[in-house]
């Protein structure tokens, strides 16, 4: 998106973010991922659980915004959003019939 008009002149904001995932099973937080997740089965952010159960998965996006207005500019650092969801993990086994 290009500059937006204001009373002080055009303002331009460019935000960048990275995603971090806590899978809720005690494994270390993973990331940064410079892209969003995608629906199964084509997703690029994946995790394998060792045990069945219900886990709370937390996704955090850390981002910053660079701005420019008239002759001034700056960065707004340390921004983040976070959301959690319970995830039920079940065991699947392949069955091979001869």
28-72 confidence digits (pLDDT tens): 999 999 988 888 888 899 999 999 999 999 999 999 999 999 889
* pLDDT value at residue 61: 95
* pLDDT value at residue 14: 92
* pLDDT value at residue 93: 77
In a domain, 4, yes or no: no
What is the number of structural domains in the chain?
Answer: 1
Domain residues for the domain of 67 are 11-44+54-86
pLDDT surpasses 80 at 15: yes
Q: Partners of 55 in the beta sheet?
A: 87
Contact 45, 19 (CB under 8 A): yes
* Entry pTM: 0.73
The whole-angstrom separation of Cα 36 and Cα 61 is 9
Q: How wide is the angle at C-alpha 86 spanned by C-alphas 85 and 87, nearest 5°? A: 115
């Amino acid at each position: 998106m290009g500059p937006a008009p204001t009373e002080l002149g055009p303002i331009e904001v460019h935000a960048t973010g990275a995603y971090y995932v806590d899978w809720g099973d005690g494994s270390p937080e993973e990331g940064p991922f410079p892209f969003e997740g995608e629906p199964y089965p084509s997703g690029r952010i994946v995790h394998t659980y060792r045990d069945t159960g219900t886990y709370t998965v937390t996704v955090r996006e850390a981002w910053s915004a660079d701005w420019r207005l008239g002759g001034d500019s700056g960065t707004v650092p340390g921004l983040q959003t976070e959301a959690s969801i319970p995830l039920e993990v079940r065991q699947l086994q392949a069955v091979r019939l001869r």
